[in-house]
């Protein structure tokens, strides 16, 4: 391991008891032989390694499109650390040897509270695109959210695993008539909810894309848009208001989830306007920068609209470990969603890659729950976590 120095010049990996430290030659002689296998996959989910493999497979501009955030990328950088700003308070002697991850999201049964967030242009990551992600999510028993900006038509994705619940994410498109039509089609195609993305009144300024002058590869189909381009890019006119929540519920006949909420007052207005659930998100750090992290906004949103008598609250952004999921559940989330980790899974292993990310993180969650004396995802106590001081 490379040796690094702490603030006071102490090596971080120094043994805690200097008097018992072994000299280097003693260490080498006593330690069992441990051959290095730098190319062998570790026997656990190593997302940093997976990200690295995905980056090496993708063209630089595509890898940066998936990885990047807005402006100085402060929101992006802070997201994983914000979940790590909480510590678990394990409970002992609860007689628990296994943990149940199955739960219900807006009435649909899923095997895990970890779902796939909507992300665009999946055919850039793998030719099978959203069809492979849908197959991977179904194999893991996880819910998938299909983006408006998908490279496969929403009906085609829904047909991959019709028995496995999925939601359709709606952007405001240039053509209001086409936007309305997508909401109707989502209802007709069997999606179980419509996710309105509220945090994109205009596109965030993503510097990596500006540097690359990023453009979609030739031949990539925005399959949910008319071929003549009349739908236009997301988010030009007219801007949505709280009144659109009820309108889209009526058009689609589906429960409506509002995605991109970071404030308790907004969450309360969404619910008053008819939202069935609220999704706390910074859009993966791709919109407002610097914005509060999902981890820090979640308690305020749960306080405003969650709890036993409230609506379901979901969260995403920087979730990379099963323990991050457990923190989110303790803070009141019903489920969490993964964006980039499923990009890496798709790019490196198609449907199997997506499934292994979802099952790997689910296994980590179950393991941590058992260690913490929590039997199921519906009964994670709020006092399981405390902020790091
Ligand atoms: C490449 C990429 C494309 C995205 N496309 C969409 C989209 O089409 N619609 C949407 O609502 N959110 C979109 N998002 C945001 C994700 O749904 C999600 O909020 C975010 O990725 C979660 O953070 P994470 O990537 O750290 O897990 C996108 C995110 C990424 C990284």
DSSP 33-50: P----TTSPPSS--HHHH
Question: Which ligand 1 atom minimizes the distance to the CA of 76?
Answer: 26
Contact in structure between 136 and 193 (CB atoms under 8 Å)? no
**Nearest alpha carbon, ligand 1 atom 3:** 119
Is pTM, for the whole model, over 0.85? Answer: yes
- Taking residue 340's Cβ as centre, other Cβ atoms within 10 Å add up to 22
What spacing in Å lies between the alpha carbon of 308 and ligand 1's midpoint? 28
Looking at residue 177, its pLDDT comes to 87
Q: What is the CA radius of gyration of the chain?
A: 22
DSSP 5: B
CA angle centred on 63, ends 62 and 68, rounded to 5°: 100
Task: Name which of 361, 373, 299 is nearest 330 in CA terms.
Answer: 299
Looking at residue 6, its pLDDT comes to 30
**Ligand 1 pocket, Cβ-based, cut-off 6 angstroms:** 66, 79, 117-120, 147, 149, 169, 197, 259, 281, 283-284, 286, 316-319, 338-340
Catalytic residue among 174, 178, 212, 283: 283
Q: How many CA atoms lie within 13 A of 64 on its CB side?
A: 16
Looking at residue 14, its pLDDT comes to 26
CATH fold of 70-387 reads TIM Barrel (3.20.20)
- Hey, is 196 helix, strand or coil? strand
**Nearest alpha carbon, ligand 1 atom 6:** 119
d(Cα 364, Cα 350) in Å, to the nearest integer? Answer: 22
Looking at residue 30, its pLDDT comes to 52
**Nearest alpha carbon, ligand 1 atom 5:** 119
DSSP 326-387: HHHHHTT-SEEEESHHHHHHHHHHHHHHHHHHHHHHHHHHHHHHHHTT--BGGG--GGGEEE
178 is catalytic: no
**Nearest alpha carbon, ligand 1 atom 19:** 283
Residue with tokens 């009349």: 230
Q: What is the pLDDT along the chain (389 residues), one digit of tens a residue?
A: 233 333 332 222 222 222 223 333 344 445 555 555 666 778 899 999 999 999 999 999 999 999 999 999 999 999 999 999 999 999 999 999 999 999 999 999 999 999 999 999 999 999 999 999 999 999 999 999 999 999 999 999 999 999 999 999 999 887 888 899 999 999 999 999 999 999 999 899 999 999 999 999 988 978 998 776 665 555 455 789 999 999 999 999 999 999 999 999 999 999 999 999 999 999 999 999 999 999 999 999 999 999 999 999 999 999 999 999 999 999 999 999 999 999 999 999 999 999 999 999 999 999 999 999 999 999 999 999 999 98
For residue 355 the two structure tokens come to: 């499934």
If one residue of 82, 278, 283 were mutated to test the ligand 1 pocket, choosing by the most ligand atoms within 8 A of its CB, it would be 283
Domain ranges for the chain, please list them: 70-387
Question: Which ligand 1 atom minimizes the distance to the CA of 283?
Answer: 19
Looking at residue 36, its pLDDT comes to 56
Task: Name which of 319, 343, 318 is nearest 52 in CA terms.
Answer: 343
Looking at residue 126, its pLDDT comes to 98
**Nearest alpha carbon, ligand 1 atom 30:** 119
What spacing in Å lies between the alpha carbon of 90 and ligand 1's midpoint? 32
List, in sequence order, every residue forming a beta bridge with 315; answer none if it has no partner: 280, 336
What spacing in Å lies between the alpha carbon of 375 and ligand 1's midpoint? 31
For residue 107 the two structure tokens come to: 């009435």
d(Cα 70, Cα 284) in Å, to the nearest integer? Answer: 9
In the chain, what is the straight-line distance between the N-terminal and C-terminal CA atoms, in Å?
29
Contact in structure between 248 and 231 (CB atoms under 8 Å)? no
Looking at residue 27, its pLDDT comes to 42
Looking at residue 360, its pLDDT comes to 98
User: Distances in Å between the alpha carbon of 169 and those of 136, 137, 221, 279?
Assistant: 18, 16, 17, 12
Looking at residue 229, its pLDDT comes to 64
- Hey, is 177 helix, strand or coil? helix
């Amino acid at each position: 391991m490379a040796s690094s120095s702490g603030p006071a010049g102490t090596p971080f990996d120094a043994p805690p008891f200097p008097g018992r430290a072994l000299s280097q030659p003693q260490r080498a002689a006593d330690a069992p032989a441990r051959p290095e296998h730098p190319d062998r996959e570790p026997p656990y989910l190593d997302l940093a390694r997976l990200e690295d493999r995905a980056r090496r497979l993708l063209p630089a501009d595509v890898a940066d499109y998936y990885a990047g955030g807005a402006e100085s990328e402060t929101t992006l950088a802070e997201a994983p650390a914000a979940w790590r700003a909480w510590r678990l308070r394990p409970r002992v002697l609860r007689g628990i040897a296994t943990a149940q991850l199955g739960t219900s999201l807006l009435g649909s049964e899923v095997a895990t509270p970890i779902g796939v967030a909507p992300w665009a242009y999946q055919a850039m990551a793998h030719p099978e695109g959203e069809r492979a992600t849908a197959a991977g999510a179904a194999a893991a028993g996880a819910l998938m959210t299909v983006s408006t900006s998908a490279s496969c038509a929403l009906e085609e994705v829904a047909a991959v695993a019709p028995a496995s619940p999925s939601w359709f994410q709606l952007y405001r498109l240039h053509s209001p008539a086409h936007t309305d039509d997508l909401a109707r089609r989502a209802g007709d195609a069997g999606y179980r909810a419509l996710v309105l993305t509220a945090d994109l009144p205009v596109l965030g300024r993503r510097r990596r894309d500006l540097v690359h002058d990023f453009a979609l590869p030739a031949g990539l189909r925005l399959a949910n848009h008319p071929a003549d381009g009349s739908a236009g890019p997301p988010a030009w006119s007219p801007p949505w208001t709280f009144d659109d929540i009820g309108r889209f519920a009526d058009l689609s006949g589906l429960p409506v989830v509002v995605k991109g909420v970071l404030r308790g007052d907004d969450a309360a207005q969404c619910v008053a306007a008819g939202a069935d659930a609220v999704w706390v998100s910074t859009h993966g750090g791709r919109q407002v920068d610097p914005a509060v992290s999902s981890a820090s906004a979640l308690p305020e949103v749960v306080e405003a609209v969650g709890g036993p008598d409230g609506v379901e609250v979901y969260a995403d952004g920087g979730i990379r470990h099963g323990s991050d999921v457990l923190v989110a559940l303790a803070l009141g989330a019903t489920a969490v969603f993964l964006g980039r980790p499923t990009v890496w899974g798709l790019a490196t292993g198609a449907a199997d890659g997506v499934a292994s990310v979802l099952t790997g993180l689910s296994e980590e969650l179950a393991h941590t729950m058992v260690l913490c004396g929590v039997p199921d995802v519906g009964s994670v106590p709020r006092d399981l976590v405390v902020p790091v001081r």
